[in-house]
Structure 1
Amino acid sequence: MDLEADAEPLFEEGLRALALKAAVYEATSDDQAAEIAIAVPVDEMTHAMLAQAQLLTRIATRVGAVIIHQTNQEHTDYRAGGYTHECDQLAWGEPPTRYWLDHGEVIRRRDVLAGLYASIGMGRSGRERSIDFSAAAA
């Protein structure tokens, strides 16, 4: 990903994901059902968008949508050909695979990153370290 090049198209995909979730909620009145599977890059963008609560609230109010996102119930196990993919296709056409990464590809990439982190003394995607900084400073 390239933050500068991908920001605008990923923002659009984030809006589409939130719109799909809002549509499922409108159809079912079930906030758990509205937590459809979203690809990790798109989910990360929705988190950034949700951090702009006032702006997102104004947009939702303007279009009459209820924004659904519960981090403890989210699903990032998006699969090409699955429910979310089918909904996205029907609404906007084929979603860009650059952002709508299949869950298997996300796991593969995480494993690659975990190996790179481990090679420099970092564990759990940077949440743990075996580096002794006091010894390195001496």
Structure 2
Amino acid sequence: MKTSLFGLICVSLIIAPTFSHAGFADSLRDLRSSISQISGATKEASDLTKEVTGLTGSGSGQASGSSAASGQVLYPKINNVKLYQSANKGSSVVTKLSKGSEMVYSGNSSGAFHQVTTEHGDGWVEASLVQ
């Protein structure tokens, strides 16, 4: 009886590490697969970013910041963008523009402001709030 119990303990000591190594190998395979999927998704996102940047840079009709060209149509990024009478926040507000409002860029910029023409008249908008 002692011999068979000893044999059973020895067999279990030999087999148990084999199962744990197999589980570890499976975990490594799963991890490699996940890393490959993440890498592929990152590459796709990078390609998409390059594609979108290329479209924006090739005259898609919208611009942001100082890359706007005279005559280009701009849109507010958010609702209630203020159209100022002059190029500073202290000047009077002509109107507040909704997100869908069209603005035609005049080609003039003053610091952080663009001069635009809207259906409500001419004025200045903060360049960081238009696209």
Question: What TM-score does the superposition give when structure 2 sets the normalisation length?
Answer: 0.19
Larger relative helix fraction: 1
The one of the two structures with greater contact order (alpha-carbon pairs below 8 A, sep at least 6) is 1
* Higher Rg: 2
Larger relative strand fraction: 2
